Amino acid sequence: MSSSADKTAKKSATNEWVETIVVVAEALLIAIVLRSFLYQPFSIPTASMQQTLMIGDYFVANKFVWGYGKHSFSLGRYGNFTALDFELPITERIFGREPNRGDVAVFRPVPQNVEYIKRIVGLPGDRIQVRDGRLYINGTIVEREEIGTALDTDSEGDTREVTVYRETFPNGSVHIIQEISDNGPLDNTPEYVVPPDHYFMMGDNRDRSADSRVLSQVGYVPEVNLIAKAEARFFSIRDNIPPWQIWHWPANVRWDRMFESIE
């Protein structure tokens, strides 16, 4: 009886281990499917989208709303993070709708192998220009309203005073931008004509953003290189402190920026 009981106990323990492994494997599979096809988390390492997305913000991006493109299933690279880089051999996006002007997009510029995040300013066929710090779309100046000043700190710790504006696109999309001045290096540009099936991107922190205005670095972004639409912040911490360092949370977590949609 003792030997039989021991065998039963060992069999039960083995079954429990097998069940645990199966549960863990299923959870990993679900996480991989969610990340690959539906939603993917990202973090912000630079100042180019402040105040909309601050350094140390963590957000989730919708991967299916625009369908799937060349880099949709790559875990990719973002900032200093490097992971699996898988590229689909396709030239057009499949499924999904077209992006809207004003959407905040995660994408892969053609000359780069890292993910960028910027706001979609120009649609295919649009004429985009910046003159004296003001954005023009198809020859018409984009409305902006000054709402105050703020201090902006970049990833190198350089702090500048900025003027904050509420900008309204022709389609009614409203968002916040900021400028150090209206006479910076990218505040007077030639007119850009967005090619078919491409988009023109700009950062909301206009004087601290390398974006489509810099053709050699970002330039026009092919539709097939769009990865996801930024939808909501779920965590935010100052100074790019790793989230697992919970002992820094009380003084550094930006509680007011958590669980908010991205406009």
Q: Among all residues, which ones are annotated catalytic?
A: 48, 118
Residues 81/90, Cβ–Cβ less than 8 Å: no
Residues 105/228, Cβ–Cβ less than 8 Å: yes
- What's the angle, vertex CA 33, arms to CA 259 and CA 108, rounded to 5? 70
CA distance 136 to 131: 8
Measuring CA to CA, which residue among 176, 164, 199, 205 is closest to residue 44? 205
Residues 237/209, Cβ–Cβ less than 8 Å: no
Exposure string over 50-87, b if 16+ CB within 10 A, otherwise e: bbbbbbbbbbbbbbeebbbbbbbbbebbbeeeeeeeee
Cα–Cα distances (Å) from 122 to 47, 56, 103, 116, 227, in that order, read 21, 27, 11, 16, 17
Cα–Cα distances (Å) from 151 to 78, 100, 134, 164, in that order, read 26, 30, 21, 10
* Residues forming a β-bridge with 152: 160
Residues 168/196, Cβ–Cβ less than 8 Å: no
CA distance 98 to 73: 19
